[in-house]
Structure 1
């Protein structure tokens, strides 16, 4: 929206630590969104809105011990809503087959290519937790009855 002629525009200055956080996490967030939301523009908007949500509560997010976990919760809420209203993807279908924490770890580590530590940093958790989530996901994937999960995972990996 453009300001009315003769009326001063409002300038919003974001805290430097919020700007740094966004620069650090934006690319991973965008890759994650594209894994779950087929429409590029919808994925971009979902990440923008999630970061806007975080900006609105930045002071409270910093007061907690797990700022990245708070940001991840905001992001996944927006992304999953966008995935429901847009065309889904094979990676998005994983969330109907395994718990969200396992799917998050698998998507970030295996599909996006983050290290265990990078995945933990993104999720706002410990590397040991990520390792455990990935091991559980692998066990589910290797279960002989997991035909749907394997088909979904194969489709997500080929995307």
Structure 2
């Protein structure tokens, strides 16, 4: 029992900082690193240069997706330690929402590299310009994902042997 409690505590120590730093602060850092900078855009003149710039973001996008998966992996591990069917359905929902946001995020970052923030010429299909709307879709999906992940993390990292704050002790009558 103490080993399980220690593992749960260790998962909480990994989960909360990763949720804060990776999910709330990380997008700003990765956004700056994954798209072609405005000083590079005017120098791109050929289709091959645009493709090279966009393909150069693929490794960063893969690393970004792996880093973002840390809180989801913590939820999965918590579920394996303390199985609960109701939470399992919510974790599956989190995993599905996360997979959708990863795909949308990759399409957006890759597409914005091809479009090069509007500086580039029309070398590629106009459909890539539609990727500029994907962050709106991503926010719509991320809000429930963040809320669900936060609530699951809170439920998993709360000690079960502690009584709830609003619980009435068994020796007191509330009538």
TM over 0.5: no
Q: Which has the higher contact order (CA 8 A, sep 6+)?
A: 2
- Structure 2 length-normalised TM: 0.28
Bigger Rg, structure 1 or 2: 2
